[in-house]
Chains A and B, each alone.
Chain A
Amino acid sequence: MDQELVADLYRKMARIRRFEEEAARLYTEKKIGGFLHLYIGQEAVAVGALSVLQDNDYVMTAYRCHGHYLARGGSSRAGMAELLGKETGCAKGRGGSMHFYDVERRFMGGWGIVGAQVPVAAGLAFAEKYKGSDGIAICFLGDGAINIGSFHEGLSLAALWNIPVIFVIENNYFAMGTPLEKTAPTDDLSIRALAYPMARDTVDGHDVFAVRSCIHAAAKRAREQKLPTLIEAKTYRYRGHSMADPAKYRTAQDVDQWKSRDPIKVLGEKLEGLGLKSLREQIDREVEEEIIDAVQFAEESPFPAPETALDYAYV
């Protein structure tokens, strides 16, 4: 196992975890408004998937977007400042928690209407194919998004028009507070790919290496054959749907079962197993410093000026 790779993936996941923990703290201090959906527990999906993509690939996701933004290389300072609604945020305080952007890195948001990003992401990939580029798109969505029309229309067009896009259902087993068994007749979610049809895969979303190889294969299919893939990544969020949700609809044992093989814990232990305990500790320290710095940066940053409230409505 490549030590550098293990260390890199560990750092990326730990960075998201600490970012989200600090965000939760700032939310309880009422410094963050609106909704705050945390990615804690699901880090291996975004980090594994985006670690095998190219710079010219597009990334789009739903409202639980901090993890994908950070995994794509987004600045923790700009992310934290966005949560606080500051001018220095990754959307200058216009987006908020659900609408992070870093278009320079082709991180295209951050969208709040369940499933609506599916055909839009297909459009990003459509454009790359139209332009003759080898770029593809990856679209993340939750298990709650697979019953809405835009999901089916997006997948249908992607299959019909041979669009180089990867759809990743992050199945965390709850659509807000409704368990999967109440919203889907089978817990095999990628089976829906058969209808369009398109290639499909199912992966353990807590195993960052499994996610990598799964996405790698799908990316190759997209890049070389211009074909879409539907992937189900089985994962879990440790927190509620949003900070407003105490998650009383599940047991502590359920959560503990997933936490027992937490991807960050597992990778940290792997590093130590490789005799790299001091490296792990160093990464933890550096991540801590980065996130504390991000919080300080966000708190000290200015709010947008009131006279700019209508800016960016039009070109």
Chain B
Amino acid sequence: MSNAMPSETDTQSAVREIPIRDALQEAMTEEMLRDERVFLVGEEVGGYNGAYKCSRGMLDQFGPRRVIDAPIAENGFAGLGVGAAMAGLRPIVEFMTFNFSLVAIDQIINTAAKARLMSAGQLSCPIVFRGAGGAAFQLGAQHANSFDSFYAATPGLIVIAPATPYDMKGLLKSAIRDDNPVVFFESELTYGKRGPVPEGEYLVPIGVADVKREGSDVTLISWSKNVFLTLDAAEALAEQGISAEVIDLRTLRPLDAQTVLTSVAKTHRCVIVQEQHEVASYGAYLGHMITNAIFDELDAPVGLVSTLEAPMPYSKALEVVLLPSKQRIIDQVLAVCA
């Protein structure tokens, strides 16, 4: 981790409601204005303004030298980005979705994440791999993967998975400034989701979780778009007289264990909500970490709401069965509070 990690700052008072795609566009635009070394490369990022319009207007503003439309060759342009980072640039590599990152995963895990250690610090690889991850409505099995656990299992990477427009912008800016390779997860389903974002410059620090809702009976932990689902569940639980605290991890690696443990030590019960298959998942690790660290504080085993163990079927009648749902969260909370 960088010693010069920026602290959370908010120097402006004016706050607007903007969608996540605009928050991401602002983050990239501001960082490219600030630092000539930053450039954006990926499929459809230029002339098409981004497959999900996250780079709208950027080709016009910065030109084709810095906003680069790539052919469909993820291993190629991810690897090219890694080399450019080693040579002193700060690339943002957009994957249209992280489903396609698997054909580039060798460059992320075997090249980017290991360059610094293998060279004993002679090389560094300041690069951001960003794009949509997870299921959206009925994309079918090959376009619904959620690879948070895959990437979070790799030392050498920073893995960020924010939920809100505010966190998306502030964390993407921090990611671009970080000297480590960063995997940055977004979601197709929330690019249009609006939320308050200040007008001016601010950063959200990497590796700091955020308590999105305070509560006293149970701690719910989630990240990425499932934070919204978890907050919905917390609202419903409140109506049943259960006060749930909701922690948004925001960063998976490094994990902000302190915020998690402080909350669970207060509520004594915990449910983790993850859009991950449970076997060998991040949530399973997190549950182990909590249990190991504060076993005596727990009044019940740590609960886990995960994606069920099958590739994602297409039909909407089946997709909802596999994915975490509000009802499954509520049921799990009731179980650990019983």
Most central of B76, B77, B110, B155 by chain A CB within 10 Å = B76
Residue in A94, A122, A123, A126 whose CB lies within 8 Å of B120: A94
Query: Bound state CA distance, A58 and B73, in angstroms?
Result: 23
Binds A, one of B55-63, B81-89, B309-317: B81-89
Q: Are A123 and B84 closer than 8 Å at their CB atoms?
A: yes
Q: Are A95 and B120 closer than 8 Å at their CB atoms?
A: yes
Q: Are B76 and A58 closer than 8 Å at their CB atoms?
A: no
Residue in B80, B85, B89, B158 whose CB lies within 8 Å of A157: B80
Give the Cβ gap from B256 to chain A, nearest Cβ, in Å.
16
Q: Are A149 and B75 closer than 8 Å at their CB atoms?
A: yes
Give the Cβ gap from A226 to chain B, nearest Cβ, in Å.
13
Any chain A CB within 8 A of the CB of B276?
no
- Across chains A and B, the number of contacting residue pairs, with CB separation under 8 Å, is 148
Any chain A CB within 8 A of the CB of B241?
no
Any chain B CB within 8 A of the CB of A156?
yes
| A119-B80 CB under 8 A given contacts A149-B75, A315-B1, A315-B179 | yes
| A128-B87 CB under 8 A given contacts A95-B120, A154-B76 | yes
Give the Cβ gap from A85 to chain B, nearest Cβ, in Å.
12
Any chain B CB within 8 A of the CB of A5?
no
Query: Bound state CA distance, A313 and B180, in angstroms?
Result: 9
Q: Are A103 and B123 closer than 8 Å at their CB atoms?
A: yes
Q: Are B117 and A120 closer than 8 Å at their CB atoms?
A: no
Query: Bound state CA distance, A283 and B67, in angstroms?
Result: 52
Q: Are B80 and A120 closer than 8 Å at their CB atoms?
A: yes
Any chain B CB within 8 A of the CB of A92?
yes
B82 partner residues in chain A, CB cutoff 8 A: 119-120, 123
Give the Cβ gap from A137 to chain B, nearest Cβ, in Å.
8
Residue in A108, A119, A156 whose CB lies within 8 Å of B107: A119
Give the Cβ gap from A79 to chain B, nearest Cβ, in Å.
14
| A312-B121 CB under 8 A given contacts A126-B83, A156-B76 | yes
For B, the interface residue count at a CB cutoff of 8 angstroms equals 44
Any chain B CB within 8 A of the CB of A150?
yes
B164 partner residues in chain A, CB cutoff 8 A: none
Any chain A CB within 8 A of the CB of B15?
no
Most central of B87, B117, B180 by chain A CB within 10 Å = B87
Most central of A95, A108, A312 by chain B CB within 10 Å = A312
- The size class of the interface chain A forms with chain B is 35 or more
| A116-B71 CB under 8 A given contacts A91-B118, A95-B119, A95-B120 | no
A103 partner residues in chain B, CB cutoff 8 A: 119, 122-123
Query: Bound state CA distance, A108 and B119, in angstroms?
Result: 9
| 0/1 interface trace, chain B 265-279, chain A, CB 8 Å (1 if under) | 000000000000000
A92 partner residues in chain B, CB cutoff 8 A: 120
| A120-B79 CB under 8 A given contacts A127-B87, A131-B88, A314-B1 | yes
Query: Bound state CA distance, A283 and B119, in angstroms?
Result: 31
| 0/1 interface trace, chain A 84-100, chain B, CB 8 Å (1 if under) | 00000001111100010
Q: Are A99 and B123 closer than 8 Å at their CB atoms?
A: no
Give the Cβ gap from B252 to chain A, nearest Cβ, in Å.
15
Any chain B CB within 8 A of the CB of A124?
yes
Query: Bound state CA distance, A137 and B77, in angstroms?
Result: 17
B65 partner residues in chain A, CB cutoff 8 A: 130
Chain A residue nearest to B72 in the complex (CB): A153
Q: Are A101 and B83 closer than 8 Å at their CB atoms?
A: no
Query: Bound state CA distance, A102 and B123, in angstroms?
Result: 10
Give the Cβ gap from B181 to chain A, nearest Cβ, in Å.
10
Any chain A CB within 8 A of the CB of B35?
no
Q: Are B110 and A113 closer than 8 Å at their CB atoms?
A: yes
Q: Are A127 and B1 closer than 8 Å at their CB atoms?
A: no
Query: Bound state CA distance, A252 and B115, in angstroms?
Result: 39
B180 partner residues in chain A, CB cutoff 8 A: 314-315
Any chain A CB within 8 A of the CB of B106?
yes
Any chain A CB within 8 A of the CB of B2?
yes
Most central of B110, B117, B120, B158 by chain A CB within 10 Å = B120
Chain A residue nearest to B254 in the complex (CB): A314
Query: Bound state CA distance, A150 and B77, in angstroms?
Result: 10
Give the Cβ gap from A60 to chain B, nearest Cβ, in Å.
8
Q: Are A122 and B83 closer than 8 Å at their CB atoms?
A: yes
Any chain B CB within 8 A of the CB of A121?
yes
Residue in B76, B89, B110, B117 whose CB lies within 8 Å of A119: B76
A126 partner residues in chain B, CB cutoff 8 A: 80, 83-84, 87
Give the Cβ gap from A92 to chain B, nearest Cβ, in Å.
4
Q: Are A91 and B120 closer than 8 Å at their CB atoms?
A: yes
Q: Are B122 and A123 closer than 8 Å at their CB atoms?
A: no
Q: Are A91 and B119 closer than 8 Å at their CB atoms?
A: yes
A120 partner residues in chain B, CB cutoff 8 A: 79-80, 82-83, 86, 107, 111
| 0/1 interface trace, chain A 127-141, chain B, CB 8 Å (1 if under) | 110110000010000
Residues of A within 8 A of B (CB): 58, 60, 91-95, 99, 101-104, 108-113, 116, 118-128, 130-131, 137, 149-150, 153-154, 156-157, 160-161, 311-315
Closest 3 A/B residue pairs (Cβ): A123-B83, A153-B76, A119-B79
Given contacts A91-B120, A109-B119, 9 further A-B contacts (CB under 8 A): A103-B123, A119-B83, A123-B85, A126-B80, A153-B77, A157-B70, A157-B71, A311-B120, A315-B2
